[in-house]
Amino acid sequence: MQTDLWNYCLNLYARPGVEQACLHLQDQGLDVCVLLCAAWLEARDVACDEVRLGQLNACAGPWQREVVQPLRRLRTHWREAAAHDDALAALRVQVKALELEAERTLLRRLESVTQGWTQTQSQDTCAWLQKVVDDAGHPDCDALHTLRVAINRA
């Protein structure tokens, strides 16, 4: 397993069904970067609690609202028009690259927040994913199941 969050996310996201599951959960209001960070923390048996989840959300929220989401909105807004305009299509590719770099920056920030967080000392499962999902108001269980299966095969 990769130790840094970015490489863990790249590996997990490439697994069958994970991209679609993440996009579906994102459409339901989940922050995919926080979700992937939660998967990483869960895989590493890092102890979870509401305070830590709050720290992740406090880190991610402003960056998502002010940087990632405006880039995503612009990219998706240009989707149809870019199909008929090569110059706009090229700009859309650049916006997509900026969006990905913004997400990478957020993942670095989330990893930084987790510095010093220790593994759980008990045999209890660290329910990071469940905490993130519960916090978002019960998104699609099938998408979450797909994500869990991919994590368990890591």
| 40-97 per-position pLDDT tens digit | 998 888 988 889 999 999 999 999 999 999 999 999 999 999 999 999 999 999 999 9
Query: If DSSP states are collapsed to H, E and C, what string results for the chain?
Result: CCCCHHHHHHHHHCCCCHHHHHHHHHHCCCCHHHHHHHHHHHHCCECCCHHHHHHHHHHHHHHHHHHHHHHHHHHHHCHHHHCCCHHHHHHHHHHHHHHHHHHHHHHHHHHHHCCCCCECCCCCCCCHHHHHHHHHCCCCHHHHHHHHHHHHCC
pTM of the model: 0.89
Q: Which residue has the higher pLDDT, 87 or 120?
A: 87
Q: What is the pLDDT of residue 140?
A: 64
Query: Quick one: pLDDT band at residue 1, thresholds 50, 70, 90?
Result: very low
Q: What is the pLDDT of residue 130?
A: 82
- Is a pLDDT exceeding 50 seen at residue 30? yes
